[in-house]
Structure 1
């Protein structure tokens, strides 16, 4: 692919996108690339070879984005075909951090050749501001996580009163000093335990918290995938912590899905009444254990509602055998008229947009909850890791637009009745509180997200800001 430098288009902004090698990170960078490209911004996308084809399929048809595959350093467990975290066990994700750190000379060479105006980088590339500064390139830390998760976990105040790796579960159960007093957010024991990985080094390099803080402090500006309407107090707190301007993309509402739903699923879903089906999916990299699968399945059975359950497994696992062992005895036969259990990729946006789907039971990934809101699907939330826990609290406690499945404090256990009660609140008890209020708030946020004028302005404002920075650079260069 022919590489384009900024000198080829004197008046065109040129941005390099450089996300971490996990699709949950890559996807928002693609969404932002598409939206910036529609405003005339030239995009170059850095990734590893294993992701190139998948990224191409998600670029808009008129996109001029060029993709540059990076050479993966020789590290045990990584090959040219590695597709990020999805191809590696969790214990080996640190190898991707090592690979990124070893890529610095390669990245410097590419940036020297491309001469972009800006680099949008991710949490792991904490060295990017320093490297790009040597080349006269501005850097934006594009934080793909919600502001509530950043404000709770990755601010300098989180390290107040701690030394080294002495952050404990007890520390994490409480917000950092200065956290917005209007917020009632607290973590449960199992949630705090999950976040400990941010305060430990898995690869001998910097901890996740240090990568974040150094990146925030060194960048020209921070970009967040959110808005003040949803997360104002948390954005204000982050801004005060880092003393940096924070530009907002808005929640990056996806374009209406193109294409048609597979005939098999269209025919099955069309058998049911409008807004009656529960769609349940946890993404491609969240894997439930046998006990969780069993209780989830039994909970869906108890609702009496039709459901479409998607369960995924690690690449080296026989999904059919795993499902046969984990699903309750006789479940498939009992549910054959009103339930589907599927493993593998599905057309999620098209399913959520189907007239029969009325509820989305999901892991609280921020992109997923936005898709549910715009498609008028009620939200029942069952988070499993990291920012998902805080996203759920934002949706339930602050936005009051969903309900969370109850979990046990110590180990996060949930049972069939917990699943049943959550779905019932938003699908059955629609004329009672809190189900009635949740639906009213859900509709309010849906209207906000579907207001194209509002959502487009987030992107146009960023483009205006970038043009101002680029113009100032040109003026400074001409007077130097």
Structure 2
């Protein structure tokens, strides 16, 4: 029996099938790396255009493989462009259409591979039925925090409504929602959430896809932990009445490659913890007015800053930047402020001794990176789960500050940027800065506790092995 048990541990085989967006692919890769280090076999499905980048992120392991899928032609979807980072919003919606057309191909691969589990994403709500027919269990891997699921995509969200909720209804939590700091959201945030209930190309809306996936799967896997989100996790369990396993925040491994000399040299000129690093990722874009107020707010702090801005696919980044930046700003901040476009080594920049503050869109991976590198968090969320991430960190965890914004349209001015940064960078011994810094350090210690993080993964592997052992695989 012991040999049989050990064989089960060695042979546990998972297929990873994230949506074709790197905000989704990256958490699946990070999880794959954690699991493969515990002997789990990984087969990673994605579009051919994403394979090289995934290969560069996935730890080399003889039990891991990347399997390219064939993207079927879809009118309006440019051939060869296979992740949302290369597409405009309308084209990105067509990737969901392409995924729906890939069902026969995916079914054939699964029937050949016969994995114990398929970990899937929000856009593949048809997968549980397909996998069940093949005797394979399915895991809905939510790459969002539990608060996001609890607030937006539980059955109770439509409780008592004959139609999808209105703008006013989306401002407030669903029935039964736990008592926490999140009691409502602003009008501009609720307006963004209405995207969840909008149908594109006559297909199901995001809410319907997510709810169907969560309802149909064998297991829900959440990228969080009880220490951070116990109340929301319990609420999700009560809504779906099935196992909710936790992988933890998935702390990224420290990078071993050196920071480019261009940035190392510039950052090295400043005192420890004095530089503001500001970035919104590769798929979150600010409009001209937002860029102007942000840049002026950074200037007003008097602190050195590195601002990284990106623009939609096919845009001329240099021209966009010239148009958006306030006249004369580059001259005024010369020697103290740098504005860049394109990809940078974010983890290495955050780890640099001179960087003391990270102003971001509150993507949760970025939040974790900031905390583990002891960079104070200022959050300026733009869309979707970012809006709720910021509420968890600033409200429940009290480990960062969110930039104040106008209720109706989300407007913020330069003074709002300046005030938020000053709260965590200058008022060190005063409330609420002291509380924020103390909590920031508490969560940093928790995230950097390798024993705690390893135990989360080991517990997950054991739970999945136990379930696989009863599945007949």
TM-score norm. by structure 1 comes to 0.95
1:140 matches 2:139: yes
Please provide the CA RMSD for this pair. Answer: 1.3
1:196-207 matches, cutoff 5 A: 196-207=194-205
Q: Which residue is equivalent to 2:97?
A: 98
1:284 matches 2:282: yes
Q: CA deviation at 1:203?
A: 2.0
Q: Indicate the larger mover: 274-283 or 199-208.
A: 199-208
1:81-480 matches, cutoff 5 A: 81-165=80-164, 167-474=165-472
CA displacement 1:299-319 (0-9 Å, x = unmatched): 000000000000001121111
Q: CA deviation at 1:63?
A: 6.1
Q: Take 2:9 and 2:278, find their aligned partners in 1: how far apart are those partners?
A: 48
Q: Take 1:103 and 1:319, find their aligned partners in 2: how far apart are those partners?
A: 34
Partner SS for 1:25: helix
CA displacement 1:255-303 (0-9 Å, x = unmatched): 1112100001000000000000000000000111110000000000000
CA displacement 1:377-421 (0-9 Å, x = unmatched): 000000000000000000000000000000000000000000000
Q: CA deviation at 1:94?
A: 2.0
Q: Take 1:182 and 1:421, find their aligned partners in 2: how far apart are those partners?
A: 25
Q: CA deviation at 1:80?
A: 4.6
Q: Indicate the larger mover: 349-358 or 70-79.
A: 70-79
Q: CA deviation at 1:10?
A: 9.2
CA separation of 1:120 and 1:344: change in aligned 2, threshold 3 A: same
CA separation of 1:239 and 1:344: change in aligned 2, threshold 3 A: same
Tell me if the contact between 1:34 and 1:63 (Cα under 8 Å) persists in the aligned partners. no
Q: Which residue is equivalent to 1:19?
A: 18
Q: CA deviation at 1:112?
A: 0.5
Q: Take 1:210 and 1:52, find their aligned partners in 2: how far apart are those partners?
A: 29
Tell me if the contact between 2:10 and 2:39 (Cα under 8 Å) persists in the aligned partners. no
CA displacement 1:311-346 (0-9 Å, x = unmatched): 001121111111111111111111111001000000
Q: Take 2:270 and 2:60, find their aligned partners in 1: how far apart are those partners?
A: 34
Partner SS for 1:148: helix
Tell me if the contact between 1:146 and 1:224 (Cα under 8 Å) persists in the aligned partners. yes
Q: Which residue is equivalent to 2:3?
A: none
Tell me if the contact between 2:173 and 2:184 (Cα under 8 Å) persists in the aligned partners. yes
TM-score norm. by structure 2 comes to 0.97
Q: CA deviation at 1:176?
A: 0.5
Q: Take 1:184 and 1:19, find their aligned partners in 2: how far apart are those partners?
A: 29
CA separation of 1:356 and 1:11: change in aligned 2, threshold 3 A: closer
CA separation of 1:10 and 1:430: change in aligned 2, threshold 3 A: closer
Partner SS for 2:320: helix
Q: Take 2:434 and 2:100, find their aligned partners in 1: how far apart are those partners?
A: 50
CA displacement 1:210-257 (0-9 Å, x = unmatched): 111111111111000000100010000000000011100000001111
Q: Take 1:131 and 1:61, find their aligned partners in 2: how far apart are those partners?
A: 30
Tell me if the contact between 1:180 and 1:237 (Cα under 8 Å) persists in the aligned partners. yes
Partner SS for 1:164: coil
Q: Take 2:174 and 2:307, find their aligned partners in 1: how far apart are those partners?
A: 37
1:47 matches 2:42: no
Q: CA deviation at 1:79?
A: 4.3
Tell me if the contact between 2:9 and 2:40 (Cα under 8 Å) persists in the aligned partners. no
Tell me if the contact between 1:261 and 1:351 (Cα under 8 Å) persists in the aligned partners. yes
CA displacement 1:63-85 (0-9 Å, x = unmatched): 64211111111102334521311
* Residues paired across the two proteins, number: 467
Q: CA deviation at 1:182?
A: 3.2
Q: Indicate the larger mover: 429-438 or 31-40.
A: 429-438
CA displacement 1:57-105 (0-9 Å, x = unmatched): 1112446421111111110233452131112211232211111111111
Runs of 4+ in 1 over 6 A off after TM superposition: none
Q: Take 1:94 and 1:338, find their aligned partners in 2: how far apart are those partners?
A: 41
